[in-house]
A and B are shown apart, each in its own frame.
Chain A
Amino acid sequence: MPMRKIWVVIRREFLERVRNKWFIITTILGPVLLGLMVILPALLLSRSAGTTHVVVLDATTAEFGRRVTDKLESSPRMEPQYLATGIVNLESVADSLAGEVGDEAIDGFLIVTDATITDGRAEYRGSNVSSQVDMSVMQRYVQEAALAERLVRRGIDPTIVADANMRLRFRTVNIRGGKVTDQSGESVFVLAYFMWIVLYVTLAVYGAQVAGAVVEEKSSRVIEVLASSLRPFQLLAGKVVGVGAVGLFQVTIWAMFARVLIDQQATILGLFGIEVQGDGGFRLPEVPLDSIAVLMVYFVLGFFLYSTMFAAVGAMSSSESEMRQAQQPVLFLFVIPAMLSFGVLTDPNGTLATVLTLVPLSAPVAMPMRWGVAAVPLGELALSVLILILTSIAVTWVAARIYRVGILMYGKRPSPRELLRWIRTA
């Protein structure tokens, strides 16, 4: 009988939320945004508008600018143009080029002089100086050209110089638990980041919704009718599980959409007339089953930990606006550990990472991230889960007592001392 009543509360909470038009909108909008994230960069890259028009203004005596222009031509991003000038009228030429930048005929111009070779100095003036990619590409090519020029001037064979300038292709492979995986450094980061986003967003959004659900029942005064036939615990449990189920449901839908989008990205991009080159496009890192299991366990435990706190916040507020204020401390308790959890990535088996995965406030986010990138000793996992469960039980116990008294209280928000009395007397 008590279970049946909890089930009634869960079902109402779930159905009312899932039928809500905002739920439907965000559920659909999520994949659309994700799709745009895949399509837009590809779209931008594939357009010729994406290339940078640069004039190489050569004021050297040895036509060094030609070498730079050749180098830049090898980059698909760059459309270089060579323009020689004497050092004497360099500034007047530069002035007229600045006018062309103003007319958007070119993006900018690169000035190379003899000092580029002797002192390693070059200058770029343009409208795209804030583009990290453009600047680093040009810097690298000028550097390589200057190096080659210097070596040639010392009489070294140009073919040797070309050999010496060979570009490095750096591959990273993650080792987890002593085993070499097929994960690259990039995909490990993407995976951890993905887990962080999922946990952070769902815990924050759905935790706060529990507070909203509680305060809604209070402000609409439906709570007293409910309290006459349901135990506070049944109400609280029903709320937390119902809202949590909605969260899981939405994330599952998104995950399925993401899978389809990423698997089919070539087809989808094709619809937009974009062709994906061999290794181009975004690739979903392979998520091992154990990582998913850990993610689920910590999501559920973390959700209980935070949503019961949010429920207590809802119970001690009389209106939505009051609740927003009252939930600030809980949000801090959540946001700060979640931010710190990024520290796990720099040294997954360091002291910081170990502490973060044991402290119950950060563990729900930190442990799945750490598990994804490194081999966590099973003992540590068990300890972390145990601490989290015990904390969740303790927090739920306290929150249930605040909830029990708070749902029938209207008027001013309780002081910390009053809260303590609620917890003791409930």
Chain B
Amino acid sequence: MPAASVVTVSSITKRYAGHTAVRELSLTVPAGTIYGLLGPNGAGKTTTIRMIMDITVPDEGSVTLFDESGTGRDFSSRIGYLPEERGLYKKMKVLDLLVFLAETKGVTRSHAKREATQWLERLGLGDWTLKKVNDLSKGMQQKVQFISTVLHRPDLLILDEPFSGFDPVNTQLMKNEVVELANAGTTVLFSTHIMEQAEKLCSSVCIIARGEKVVDGQLADIKSNHGGRHVIVAVADGLQRVERVLSDRTLVQNSDNYGQYAELELVESADPQQLLQNLVQTGAQITRFEIAEPTLNKIFIDLVGAGAIRPEALGENAHA
């Protein structure tokens, strides 16, 4: 029987010399979900994940894993961690490396050997088992890195920006593997600044900016709380024909013109039907009119704003 929540973060704060990286952040990752930790670069995602892993210690607050006492290292046999800063021992043989990394997580030697061989076969690296990491292409090294994260069949996968730095083929492959593991019951916590990925994968998310939580919860709830007033409009002969209607501030609060279509946010009391009537009256040939859920990206930008990317974010890696 899996625990109800796999990761519980209670009001953690981490300060560095110049600034506060994470401030009173709380979140709960339910068992068996794919959970997204979202935010712009420098929001404090990596710092949060490192505190969850007990690689850095929070100044205040606490982290509970699997509803038991113990730190990330105590549970290293149950957690697969893929850090943002990735690397392997370049001079080791692929199999030796995988066995070693598994052993540091408490897997026995013989078991690690068997699992590693199976995974390497499965991802098409069967012929490279005894080659040195250095002899592998970048893409193959990424596969090896991924294998090292999941080899010990963890209950919880923590992936920091898993889709950046991987090539498209490996990104797809890894996404498929992650979904498969999640379907098999593994809880996945991953961070990203790319909202489209989170939207496709996550059932729950937590959005943070400037080290603080902006919103968290189930993705469906967040969308319905921020939805209902979003309309997508497309016109056959160009949006200029309806420009006047789209800029009517009594109905439209905000419009995003993407060229082929526009995503509108209506003012609170506006009736979408009224908007449709106005559009028809212009005589333009309307090809699409859709009352839509907002994209996560839209919610994110609305909540966080473009100013969320703070200048000191550039120094994140030096401190995080």
- Give residues in A with beta carbon < 8 Å to B: 1, 4-5, 8-9, 12, 16, 20, 216-217, 220-231, 408-411
A359 CA / B100 CA spacing, docked (Å): 40
Give the interface SS of chain A, mostly helix, strand, loop or mixed.
helix
- Measured between beta carbons, the chain B residues less than 8 angstroms from A225 are 81, 83, 86-87, 101, 148
Q: Which of B65-93 contact A (CB under 8 A)?
A: 72-73, 76, 79, 81, 83, 85-92
**Measured CA separation A20–B105 after assembly (Å):** 25
Q: Which residues of A contact B318 (CB under 8 A)?
A: 409-411
Determine the chain A residues whose CB is within 8 A of the CB of B96 once the complex forms. Answer: 12
Tell me what chain B mostly uses at the interface: helix, strand, loop, or mixed: loop
With contacts A5-B104, A9-B104 taken as known, whether A228 is within 8 angstroms of B86 at the C-beta atoms is no
The reply to whether A228 and B81 form a contact with Cβ atoms under 8 Å apart is: yes
Which 3 residue pairs of A and B lie closest in terms of their CB atoms, listed nearest first?
A: A221-B87, A229-B76, A224-B83
Tell whether, in the assembled complex, residue B104 and residue A226 are in contact, meaning their CB atoms are under 8 Å apart. yes
Residue of B56, B73, B87, B88 near A229 (CB, 8 A) is: B73
Q: A216-B89, A229-B104, A230-B73 are in contact. List 11 more A-B contacts (CB 8 A).
A: A8-B104, A9-B104, A12-B96, A20-B91, A222-B88, A225-B86, A225-B87, A228-B72, A228-B81, A229-B73, A229-B76
Residue of B nearest to A421 (CB): B17
CB of A220 within 8 A of CB of B88, answer yes
Chain B residue nearest to A9 in the complex (CB): B104
Contact of A228 with B103 at beta-carbon distance under 8 Å, contacts A221-B85, A410-B317 already known: no
Give the CA-CA distance A224 to B104 in the complex, in Å: 13
**A122–B73 Cα gap in the complex (Å)?**
83
Residues of A within 8 A of B56 (CB): 408
Taking a contact as CB atoms under 8 Å apart, the answer to whether B55 and A222 are in contact is no
Shortest Cβ distance from residue A358 to the other chain B in the assembled complex, whole angstroms: 39
From A220, A223, A227, A408, contact of B90 by CB (8 A)? A220
Q: Give chain A nearest CB distance to B155 CB in angstroms.
A: 15
A1 to B106, CA, bound (A): 8
Q: Residue B53 at the A interface, CB < 8 A?
A: yes
- Chain B residues lying within 8 Å of A12, measured Cβ to Cβ, are 96, 100
Question: Inside 8 A of B73's CB, which chain A residues have their CB?
Answer: 228-231
CB distance from A312 to the nearest CB of B (A): 19
Closest residue on chain A to residue B88 by CB atoms: A222
Interface centre among B55, B87, B105 (most CB of A within 10 A): B87
Q: Is the CB of B92 within 8 A of A227?
A: no
Chain A nearest CB from B138 CB (Å) reads 14
Identify the B interface with A (CB < 8 A): 50, 53, 55-56, 72-73, 76, 79, 81, 83, 85-92, 96, 100-101, 103-106, 148, 317-318
Interface centre among A5, A225, A409, A410, by most B CB within 10 Å?
A225
CB pair B72–A224 under 8 Å, yes or no, is no
Docked pose: A410 CA to B104 CA in angstroms: 24
- B316: min CB distance to chain A, Å: 11
**8 Å CB contact of B85 from A1, A216, A224, A230:** A224
Given A9-B104, A408-B56, does the pair A228, B85 have CB atoms closer than 8 Å? no
Chain B minimum-CB-distance residue to A220? B87
Q: In the complex, are the beta carbons of B91 and A16 less than 8 A apart? A: yes
Q: Can you list 5 A-B pairs, Cβ within 8 angstroms, ordered by A?
A: A5-B104, A220-B90, A221-B87, A228-B83, A410-B317
B106 surroundings in chain A (CB, below 8 A): 1, 4-5, 229
A228 x B76 contact (CB < 8 A): yes
Q: Which of B50, B73, B91, B104 has most chain A Cβ within 10 Å?
A: B104
Closest residue of chain B to A12, judged by CB? Answer: B100
Distance (whole angstroms) from the CB of A320 to the closest CB of chain B: 13
Q: How far is the CA of A8 from the CA of B96 in the complex (A)?
A: 12
Nearest CB in chain B to that of A228: its residue? B81
Q: How far is the CA of A341 from the CA of B76 in the complex (A)?
A: 47
Complex Cα–Cα for A230 and B91 (A) = 21
Chain A residue with Cβ nearest B79: A228
Bound-complex Cα distance A44 to B257 (A): 91
CA distance in complex: A230, B77 (Å): 11
User: A220 — which chain B residues lie within 8 A by C-beta?
Assistant: 87-90
CB distance from B41 to the nearest CB of A (A): 16
Q: What's the nearest-Cβ distance from chain A to residue B171, in Å?
A: 19
In the complex formed, the residue of A with least CB distance to B72 is A228
A227 to B49, CA, bound (A): 13
| Least CB distance, A215 to chain B, in whole angstroms | 13
CB pair A227 B55 closer than 8 Å: yes
Bound-state CA distance A221–B83 (Å) is 9
Please tell me if the beta carbons of B91 and A224 are within 8 angstroms of each other in the complex: no
Assembly CA distance A224 to B84 (angstroms): 9
Distance in angstroms between the alpha carbons of A221 and B92 in the assembled complex: 14
Give the complex CA separation of A223 and B104 in angstroms. Answer: 12
Q: How far is the CA of A9 from the CA of B105 in the complex (A)?
A: 12
Query: Bound state CA distance, A330 and B143, in angstroms?
Result: 40
Q: Which residues of A contact B101 (CB under 8 A)?
A: 225
Check if B55 sits within 8 Å of A224, measured CB to CB.
yes
Given contacts A228-B55, A228-B81, contact A222 B87 (CB under 8 A): yes
- A225–B318 Cα distance when bound, in Å, is 17
A47 CB to nearest chain B CB (Å):
46
**For B104, what are the chain A residues with a Cβ–Cβ distance below 8 Å?**
5, 8-9, 226, 229-230
- Residues of chain A with a CB closer than 8 A to B72's CB: 228
**Chain B residues within an 8 Å CB radius of A217:** 89
The residues of A that contact B81 with a CB separation of less than 8 Å are 225, 228-229
B85→A16 contact, CB < 8 A: no
- Closest residue of chain A to B319 (Cβ to Cβ) is A409
- Bound complex: CA A169 to CA B76 (Å): 73
In the bound complex, how far is the Cα of B86 from the Cα of A231, in angstroms? Answer: 18
Q: Which residues in B have their C-beta under 8 angstroms from that of A1?
A: 106
Question: How distant is B205 from chain A, measured CB to nearest CB, in Å?
Answer: 23
Are A8 and B100 CB-contacts (below 8 A) given A228-B55, A228-B73? yes
